[in-house]
Chain A
């Protein structure tokens, strides 16, 4: 049984005074500056910020693809990362892409076939296994990418604007899907987006990042009950107040342009 209070558990991902700089000298950019953030196990945490706030850097660090300049990043378990583009391998079928993720985890061939079918069914794509990525729509590709991420059997799913390139209708349905899978699989999800309404629709908590340098300016609880709909008035109201904070951030940088 999972405990009701997750706050007492050790965090799934923990960022401790994390700073990340790129380049050197005059052209040096501080992407993240002294980030302190604990991702609670089992929560769906949304990270919002204006462009250039280091959202993607944050995920790369959490996924271990990149090392912080200073500070410490710890993840309690395995992490999987999903991108805005599906990043499926075009030479493999949908099933082949999922299969490769299993293979790279060292799962023997015998058990993989059934597992692939199961994962395809999980994202409602049973029967599409032999399609190649270019034969699938953007939304379907993202679902295959989601199944591939599940194939990694990660404890933490990191998502980098995964639905950013999709049409509103598909995105809306995929929000429902993600919420369902997150609940069924008891995942921890870190969902990065620039779309505040999407963050309010999905998140247990929302982390607001400032731009250049990226700092945590606010961590908000989303007090709305699930299921939520993106067009709900409460979602809109909360999104409006978060947007106001973000605008404040952007305005603070208005004078920076000529620097």
Chain B
């Protein structure tokens, strides 16, 4: 009797005219027919069980867009209503029309762009620095129990500290320079980023850590292949929050620390106030709001959704 062990084939092909002979010292268990039947049963169950593809496309986009458009329309309507009621004279509180016209002028003649570029460079630098510091500190605190006991609550404490309260010290330390602004932006964002990582590492299901150990992931490999990816959803939440803190700190900083010949969105705001130019002031505020929203939704919102969908924590678009 020839002892040939046929390879198990994919469902549907299994046992097609082949002979499977099991080792002669073991009791014969299943011939090709039984193996094929098992494969077919499995394929059938799998077909029934496989998850449906999520819905997506234009409808989802529209259903998320129209409430936002409605909200903007409503806001402009209320604003106009307040202006028409005449509680404040129009040179103090102009209506949406003149403000949007001013905004258009600012964008058309390009004066605001130099300020936007300077501000965004600071934002990116500050956030990047905060990211590096937040990840290093967060990793150490999440990993080392002693550091956790020592600094865990301190990090949360720094996070609750209003960033504007850091400025007097920052200006003493660095005078009215870029460094003073960066210092406060980093202090605003880094704790949120670190906390996202720490919370993520805390919430990892123990079974995944055990599975990692069973697979032989120890030390750095466990950190790299299990802990870090497992804490990513919470980490991305921390990044999003860190961005919000960084942006707020930056605006506060640019109002207080005005550097000559280096226009920024904050300094434009300050100049408009000094000139009592309410239209330009509100137009600049709209720029600040829009940048904050755009970065939050287009960068961090997308990142967060992508991670959550990938992790199976959210399957539908919001």
Contacts and interface: CB of A to CB of B under 8 A. Distances in A.
Given A124-B42, A136-B50, A176-B38, A184 B211 contact: no
A223 to B, nearest CB: 12
Contacts of B108: none
Contacts of B8: 121-122, 124, 180, 184
Contact of A124 (B10, B28, B315): B10
B207 A136 contact: no
Interface in A93-127: 100-101, 103-105, 121-122, 124-127
Nearest to B25: A4
B119 to A, nearest CB: 35
Contacts of A140: 46, 49-50
A81 B216 CA distance: 11
A9 interface: no
Given A2-B25, A137-B50, A170-B45, A91 B230 contact: yes
Contact of B30 (A152, A170, A227): A227
Interface size range on A against B = 35 or more
A136 B51 contact: yes
Interface of A: 1-4, 63, 65, 80-81, 83, 85, 87-92, 100-101, 103-105, 121-122, 124-128, 131-137, 139-140, 143, 148, 152, 169-170, 173, 176-177, 179-180, 183-184, 186, 225-227
What are the 10 tightest A-B residue pairs by CB atom distance, in nearest-first order? A134-B312, A137-B49, A87-B211, A135-B51, A126-B10, A81-B214, A104-B216, A124-B42, A91-B229, A176-B38
A184 B311 contact: no
Interface string B153-169: 00000000000000000
Interface in B207-250: 207-208, 210-211, 213-217, 221, 225-226, 229-230, 232
Interface size range on B against A = 35 or more
A184 B5 contact: yes
Interface of B: 5, 8-11, 22-23, 25-30, 34-35, 38-39, 41-43, 45-46, 49-51, 207-208, 210-211, 213-217, 221, 225-226, 229-230, 232, 310-312, 315
Contacts, number: 123
Contact of B38 (A85, A91, A173): A173
A226 B27 contact: yes
Contacts of B35: 180
B107 to A, nearest CB: 41
B41 A85 contact: no
Contacts of A186: 23
A91 B235 CA distance: 14
A65 B42 contact: no
A173 B215 contact: no
A121 B210 contact: no
Contacts of B210: 65, 83, 87
Given A2-B25, A90-B312, A176-B30, 16 more contacts: A63-B214, A89-B208, A89-B230, A100-B225, A101-B215, A103-B225, A122-B8, A124-B8, A124-B38, A125-B46, A132-B312, A135-B312, A139-B45, A169-B45, A176-B38, A183-B29
A189 B50 CA distance: 29
Interface centre among A137, A184, A227 (most CB of B within 10 A): A184
B310 A65 contact: no
A62 B226 CA distance: 23
Contacts of B34: 176, 227
A2 B23 contact: yes
A80 B216 CA distance: 10
A139 to B, nearest CB: 6
23 contacts: A1-B25, A63-B214, A65-B213, A83-B207, A87-B210, A89-B211, A89-B229, A91-B310, A100-B225, A124-B38, A124-B42, A124-B43, A134-B51, A134-B312, A136-B50, A137-B49, A137-B50, A152-B214, A170-B45, A177-B38, A179-B30, A180-B8, A225-B27
A104 B230 CA distance: 17
A77 to B, nearest CB: 14
A227 B38 CA distance: 13
A179 B27 CA distance: 11
Contacts of B25: 1-4
Nearest to B31: A227
A135 B52 CA distance: 8
A126 to B, nearest CB: 4
A5 B42 CA distance: 34
A36 B203 CA distance: 38
Nearest to A173: B41
A6 to B, nearest CB: 9
Nearest to A134: B312
A167 to B, nearest CB: 9
B20 to A, nearest CB: 9
B225 A87 contact: no
A2 B22 CA distance: 12
Nearest to A42: B26
B49 A100 contact: no
B50 A105 contact: no
A124 B11 contact: yes
A121 B9 contact: yes
